[in-house]
Structure 1
Amino acid sequence: MALAATGQTGTDAGIKEDASSHSVWFNMASDKSQSEFYFPAIAQGRELTAGLISGGADPGLTHRVAKEVRRVLAEAEVEDT
């Protein structure tokens, strides 16, 4: 797995080329269209874990939904005690 986040288009493209030549999954922080994977927002409780992704379409929405899922998990755990 390789992540390019240099902010330099040429450098990031070179990293992608190297990753591709070694069959390594690649993510370019500055260009979702060049990415083969995305990092999920994680919402974790005591017994449940949820990973949320938007496929790079809306990281802000993913963050907000993960925050809400964390709140729901916390409430559910309090109710179960």
Structure 2
Amino acid sequence: MSDKDLVELLKYSNSKEIYIVTWNSILKLLVCPFKVAVIHDVGMLKKGRKVMVDEVKITHDLKTVYIIKGMAYFYYYFDILID
């Protein structure tokens, strides 16, 4: 993806919101901060810990990244917890 394409895509995004599809196929908007559970040890975060996501970003190759306490982590280390 070119930088121009990425800029165009990001024009429609918000780093404080993410849409998810729940287990029962309902589209839901999550607003930061939202809670996630660590499913694999990563950085200083240990499996089983619950943490809050402050922002949601994407990498240049469109991989979702969660910003947690100022550090960036790929989404696949976490499960989103919905009340």
TM-score in terms of structure 2 length? 0.24
Normalized per residue, the structure richer in strand is 2
Which of the pair is proportionally richer in helix?
1
Larger Rg: 1
TM-score, length basis structure 1? 0.25
